[in-house]
Amino acid sequence: MADLETDELRSRGYEVEQCWGPKYTSCPVMRGEKCAAADRADVFVYDVFSTGETDGGRSLISGLRDLYPHTPVVLTAPGMELEWVEIEGPHRVIPLVGPPTSARLLEAIDQALATEREPVQPATL
């Protein structure tokens, strides 16, 4: 599925970098560390079930939100909604529930990019 989504995004002009994620390789985000691939991303697109985590991807998404608060996340969850998914606040994501068709995925990515948050600037005294 990820390969099909990647091909579709590339055909639409997006640069896509795929990540094996914590299911198949050591993931720096799961250790609370920044990731070189994530540093280059304008938006993260993850399927909640592909993370391989026993908590359904919650730890990975939370880690991404903590480490990259200005980078939007599109979270696909075919077949069910997840109660822990936040659509507001510091851990908010753009949920895509149901089949991630090309049109729906592109719409979610466009929405995520349009709502990209700026990094929080420290207050000056």
68 or 24, higher pLDDT: 68
CB atoms within 10 A of CB 93: 22
> What are the phi and psi torsion angles at 94 (to 5°)?
-100, 105
Residue 17 corresponds to which tokens in the numbers above? 């970098």
Of residues 40 and 4, more confidently modeled: 40
Q: How many CB atoms lie within 10 A of CB 5?
A: 19
| Average pLDDT for 30-36 | 92
Q: For 83-116, how does the pLDDT look when each residue is reduced to its tens digit (9 = 90+)?
A: 777 778 777 888 887 777 888 889 989 988 887 6
Mean pLDDT of 53-81: 82
Q: Using an 8 Å Cβ cutoff, are 17 and 37 in contact?
A: yes
SS3 109: helix
- Alpha-carbon gap, residue 105 to 44, rounded angstroms: 12
Q: Which stretch, 8-22, 41-55, 68-82, has highest mean pLDDT?
A: 8-22
